[in-house]
Chain A
């Protein structure tokens, strides 16, 4: 148990130091902006399609479930508000973050840990080039730039999924007009901000966790695999665990 806490503190400390160094290196991206562009393109390409697909599906299921529950109460017209708010406040940012873990976080850890194992990071250090400059800072800035868009795309796709189900399932049969009327009525600016800020927080945290675990890897090919698994598991636990507290804070300030 003591060992676990010691390890936990060590990893947290390492991640914090790495984060501070990476933030300090962000101005250096100006020298080679191509690194930032590469990361943005990679992250966007890897996730946009999946985000649309999965968010659409989640929105559809949500409409189906709420429609089923509300039919008996005769209040199916509120489906729009429930799907709308759930996607904005919770499912949009969380689903996007989990996809970011799977598509971007895992690739990040795999690349960085293999660079560690094959001594490329040692080589960088002997060249007086901080690994944070090359490997962490561009990813950090890239995710900070694209995460709001990904979250918004996810939210809109979820809404669309809900609308399609609400309009086309015979026992719900809610017109799109009625669906979106309630949705717009309940979804306000503060809710959208909550979703976007939450997504941003998760996206940045995931990238930092995945970079830190990659940089701490050592050993051989097996350890690369272990590092990737660990990064994915730790990131998902982090998202789901901190979600409660982030929500609590955001609800009280926005």
Chain B
């Protein structure tokens, strides 16, 4: 774990989301979402597929601008590119979004090289450390097409760590991973957070991850926050919406597609 021990302590940032609204055409994706993430916190955002979690992350990283409301990073507007130059923010995309025409090494070296943060030797050493941290030793020369799904995900995390971000967003970091690798990834997110002090926002379906490492959890449903609080509080919440998400029952005699169709007819 030399990379973690060598980690530079970063100044974590605060994130405030204020009454964020976003629609695509007629479809309302975010219908007024507000929450705050404290510096250095691991904040998990859970919610069913299609509930707007990724759209929310894209607002925080500055790839989307809100219809109304705002997202603030240390009080600065996240939709302004200048904010992301002042504060180092990074995102681990769900599918990795690795540069397919570049090797793993080049993927990792791109940011420090382009921003001339370090000389070649330092970059090489950092890449070795980060790859070792993610059990990816020897993968430098591989192309993204040669990596398995789990490896791609870890390379994406490695690439984000190379930026030494003050705020790191993870979009479904454990989806498509087996339970053990999922647990390892969760541990890694927690370890990185502890070692560097950065602020983490994790979008996930993974209850184990939220329970294991998140300081607070928000449940996003139908474009609104249905619950916000501790992971333990989420589990014991009496809200029907929360329980339906956490403990879905599989009912073959009365399946959901039939219930939904019925509800629509009525």
Contact = CB atoms under 8 A, between A and B. Distances in A.
B89 interface: yes
A123 interface: yes
Interface stretch (A76-84, A125-133, A246-254): A125-133
Q: Which among A122, A126, A129 has the greatest number of chain B C-beta atoms within 10 A?
A: A126
B100 A126 contact: no
Complex A-B, nearest 5 residue pairs according to Cβ-Cβ distance, in ascending order: A119-B97, A123-B97, A127-B111, A129-B114, A126-B61
Contact of B114 (A118, A120, A123, A127): A127
Contact of B115 (A111, A120, A123, A128): A128
A126 B110 contact: no
Contacts of B100: 114-115, 118, 120
Contact of A126 (B89, B95, B101, B115): B89
Interface of A: 31-32, 111, 114-115, 118-120, 122-123, 125-129, 133
A74 to B, nearest CB: 60
Nearest to B89: A126
A123 B62 CA distance: 11
Interface size class of B (residues with CB under 8 A): 20 to 34
Contacts of A32: 113
Contact of B95 (A31, A119, A133): A119
Contacts of B99: 115, 120, 123
B62 A126 contact: yes
Contacts of B101: 111
B105 interface: no
B142 interface: no
A61 B113 CA distance: 52
Given A125-B63, A126-B84, A127-B111, A119 B93 contact: yes
Contacts of A133: 114
24 contacts: A31-B113, A31-B116, A115-B99, A115-B100, A118-B95, A118-B97, A119-B95, A119-B97, A120-B98, A120-B100, A123-B98, A123-B99, A126-B62, A126-B84, A126-B90, A127-B110, A127-B111, A127-B114, A128-B84, A128-B85, A128-B115, A129-B110, A129-B111, A133-B114
Contacts, number: 49
Secondary structure class of chain A's binding surface, majority of residues: helix
Most chain B beta-carbon contacts within 10 A, residue among A115, A119, A128, A129: A128
Contacts of A129: 110-111, 114-115
Interface string B83-108: 01100011101010111110000000
Nearest to A114: B100
Interface string B108-141: 0011011110000000000000000000000000
A111 B100 CA distance: 10
Contacts of B89: 126
A126 B114 contact: no
A31 B111 CA distance: 13
A126 B85 contact: no
Interface string B48-86: 000000000000011100000000000000000100110
Contacts of A115: 99-100
B10 interface: no
Contacts of A125: 62-63
A129 B116 CA distance: 12
B194 interface: no
Given A118-B100, A129-B110, A123 B116 contact: no
B188 interface: no
Contacts of A111: 101
Interface centre among B95, B98, B114, B116 (most CB of A within 10 A): B114
A88 B110 CA distance: 43
Nearest to B111: A127
Given A32-B113, A120-B98, A127-B111, 13 more contacts: A111-B101, A115-B99, A118-B95, A118-B97, A120-B99, A123-B97, A125-B63, A126-B90, A128-B81, A129-B110, A129-B114, A129-B115, A133-B114
B10 to A, nearest CB: 16
A178 B109 CA distance: 61
A32 B84 CA distance: 24
Contacts of B84: 126, 128
Contacts of B81: 128
B163 interface: yes
Interface in B128-187: 163
